Structure 1
Amino acid sequence: MAMFLISITYTAPLEQIDAHRPAHRDWLDAAIADGWLLLAGPREPRTGGVLLARGTRAELQEKAAGDPFFLNGLSTFELIEFIPVKAAAGVTLESLLA
């Protein structure tokens, strides 16, 4: 199974982003519970966010399009596929790809 970095870029003012943040965080919580989203966090400076996900490109394209930021025209996203071959001590590739 491939891994993807999903790069989210805000296209709206932060006031609009902040108004939709609770719905976005609920979406992140559901994605983590579903098992496809592994890590998530804002970019610094606050121009978007970064997600680490597993699945197929088609699956993740559809899932990323369900982000309330994207659904409300507040962001775009890019899927960057990569194949993990190395991990830091304590992190297993098997656990990330399971």
Structure 2
Amino acid sequence: MTCFAVLYTYNPASPRIAEIRPVHREFLSQLLADGKLVGSGPFTDTTGGALIVIRLDDNATVDDAEQLMNQDPFFTEKAIDSREIRPWNPVLNIFS
């Protein structure tokens, strides 16, 4: 499996984020049910944003991860300020 770290930047006080959060979480719940979500959650340092870690097939690329995350309502509804997707290697893998 190939892991990807997805970093979202957004204002934690944004009413748009609050409005879309329930369907965003439904999206993440489906990723979990599909075995693709490793973990997710907002940063708690008052600057906003979130980290989502996904796991895809061995040959998956950043483009594959991007196509999947393009379906997130936070992205489709343009609620986030920016998004970065990077391959990630959990050397001490506690997520198996």
| TM-score bin (small chain) | 0.7 to 0.9
Structure 1 segments of 4+ aligned residues over 6 angstroms from their partners: none
Greater helix fraction, Structure 1 or Structure 2: 1
Partner SS state of residue 8, structure 2: strand
- Aligned-CA RMSD value: 2.0
Q: Which residue of 2 aligns with 1:69?
A: 74
Instruction: Please show how residues 1-98 of structure 1 align to structure 2 within 5 Å.
Output: 1-10=1-10, 14-44=14-44, 45=46, 47-55=48-56, 56=60, 57-75=62-80, 76-87=82-93, 91=94, 95=96
For the pair shown, which has the larger CA radius of gyration, 1 or 2? 1
Identity of counterpart residues, as a percentage? Answer: 29
Q: CA deviation at 1:21?
A: 0.9
**Normalised TM-score (structure 1):** 0.79
**Normalised TM-score (structure 2):** 0.80
